[in-house]
Chain A
Amino acid sequence: MILLFVVHVLILISIYILLAVSLNLVLGYTGRVNLGHVALFGIGAYTSALLYINGIPFVIAFLASGFFAGFSGFVLIFATKRLKGDYYALATLGFSFIVYSLLLNLTSITRGPLGIAGIKKPELFGFAITNNFSYLTFSSIIVLISVFIIWRIVSSPFGILLGAMRDDETALKVLGKDTKMLKYKAMGISAFFAGISGSLFAHYISFIDPGTFTISEIILVLTIVIVGGIASTKGSIVASAIIVVIPELLRFLPLPGGIAGPMRQILYSIILIVLLLYKPRGLFGRIELE
């Protein structure tokens, strides 16, 4: 019983690690707060779930979730290329609301408010993942590979350019670097991994509806990134574990039904606000959000 619970929490942690690390890639390395990240996560979840339910092999559905989310992220950054700071953040928030209302209203594709139920765990190369133990193995491998790729990216010359662009975009332009292209690439990569984590999420939880991908979810992921520290991959990993585990522990408190859900959100938002006020660099951050 306890073991099953631990496996459940570990799977959630692995998914949130990928979601947070990919958000930190744009947020930490381009300095732009993408409040549409959860919408990209949702796009990935829906893409993968719908394709797989319609008989497309999992590998294709899985990759498609990444590419479609990546493409959406590309469209988003291209559309908002002139905006900065809070205007950019709000435009991305607007994007997430548009995605939300599309998921809700394109009922012939997404089944609208009913959501998609009965999303099966994947079958890979004839090997079916049937229980949570094998799903944990599967998600851990995917997340490890993805985080390794992201880590390689941020420590590559490309990543150093991204950091330089965040610190002083004009200087980088003077050096003849195409900063726009850098932003597009960073966003595309980040969105790709957001989509993949959406696919991991959908096939694990087995039920998704538009309400899964709302503003509360954005706060959760942002809290993880800020707790861990901006531009710190290690921080995002540690923080995912902390932030996912804390509310799960609330289950052991004798809270009346209906309170547990709001309590975890209350906890997240208090952590977020207190951190912004007193420890804006988080656990491992070297820089502050600008």
Chain B
Amino acid sequence: MSFVVQLTINGLIAGSVYALVASGFSLIYSTNRFMHFAHGISVVVASYILYTLFSIAQIPFFLSILPTLFLSALFGFFVYLLVYSPLQSRNASNVVLLIASIGVLILFQNVLQAVYGANVKTINLLETNKGIEIFGASVTHLQLVIIFFSLFLFIFFNFFMRKTRLGKEMRAIADNKELSRIVGINDRLIAGASFVIGSFFAGIAGIFIGLEYNLFPTMGTDLIIKGFTGAVIGGVGSVPGAIIGAYILGLAENYGIAFLPSGFKDAISFVLLFIFLLFKPSGLLGIRRNGE
């Protein structure tokens, strides 16, 4: 019993982290219609910014958070402005944007490695890692914060998308770009805004990941694959779908290693990704794109 509870809790923690990555990725996809694979590196850049501010510069934690979020939003926006926007202006295909995006991912992964070195970094905010017990399963305070804060964030974000003008415009662009432009929505502005908000989410993910896991430059690839797989399971163009998909992935991975050697944990997500791409590319809640 406690074993199952532990796996479920571990799955929820992983799922929350994946969902934080997937939600930003999916938001950007829904308004831009291309795969911002470099979203993974936005998350890692945020973690390293927090590491620099908090662990190196010794700035108090709560004062480090705001600049971290601000800079990661700025990072995403600049990637959009300098790479994607010019490519979109010359009507580059999705494949070209995807390749450019993988290029950006590899570029900054190696910039981080050149600056900080390849070795693992840790942010020691919480000295003790003593957990509490729930039905015989142990969970740390930080992990509880991750799970509940993510849930709160997603509920708030859902409210934002449904009730605010910007949120409604984003959904309109995602639903029908041509029609939205005709009624006067500035699609470029919305695209930029979704990069800012999506990368802000990446910043939040980066903070939690920095606190919970060890940091290393190449983790961006792993993170975006998990986030992307979650998004594909739920439906890439649907943010709620991506969030649900990410939780499904987190749980599937953790239940899966009850039956498989733990080395296959990553393989579970690759196989799920492959299966969904082949048999249900629109995902559980997604909308089909034209021509696919």
Binding site for B on A (CB under 8 A): 33, 35, 79-80, 82-87, 89-91, 94-95, 97-98, 101-102, 104-105, 112, 215-216, 218-219, 222, 226, 258-259, 261-263, 265-266, 268-270, 272-273, 276-277, 280, 288-290
> In whole angstroms, what is the CA distance A112 to B263 when docked?
10
Which of A95, A97, A258, A273 makes the CB contact (< 8 A) with B107?
A: A273
Which of A105, A215, A272 makes the CB contact (< 8 A) with B221?
A: A215
> Could you name 10 residue pairs across A and B whose Cβ atoms are closer than 8 Å?
A33-B99, A91-B278, A94-B277, A97-B273, A101-B263, A219-B103, A258-B114, A266-B107, A272-B103, A290-B95
Given A85-B292, A105-B267, 12 more contacts at CB 8 Å? A79-B274, A90-B98, A101-B263, A112-B263, A222-B99, A226-B99, A258-B117, A261-B113, A265-B109, A266-B107, A276-B99, A276-B100
CB of B261 within 8 A of CB of A105, answer yes
> In whole angstroms, what is the CA distance A105 to B292 when docked?
34
Closest residue of chain B to A31 (Cβ to Cβ) is B95
Binding site for A on B (CB under 8 A): 34-35, 83, 86-87, 92-100, 102-107, 109-111, 113-114, 117-118, 221, 225, 228, 261, 263-264, 266-267, 270-271, 273-274, 277-278, 281, 291-292
CB of B292 within 8 A of CB of A84, answer yes
CB of B95 within 8 A of CB of A33, answer yes
Overall SS of chain B's interface: helix
CB of A90 within 8 A of CB of B270, answer no
* Chain B: minimal CB distance from A55 (Å): 29
Q: Assuming A87-B292, A266-B111, is B86 touching A277 (CB within 8 A)?
A: yes
CB of A289 within 8 A of CB of B270, answer no
Closest residue of chain B to A95 (Cβ to Cβ) is B274
Report A-chain residues with C-beta under 8 Å of the C-beta of B261.
105
Which of B107, B118, B274, B281 makes the CB contact (< 8 A) with A269?
A: B107
Closest residue of chain B to A211 (Cβ to Cβ) is B218
* Chain A: minimal CB distance from B88 (Å): 11
Which of B86, B110, B117, B225 makes the CB contact (< 8 A) with A265?
A: B110
Report B-chain residues with C-beta under 8 Å of the C-beta of A226.
99
> In whole angstroms, what is the CA distance A94 to B92 when docked?
23
CB of B225 within 8 A of CB of A97, answer yes
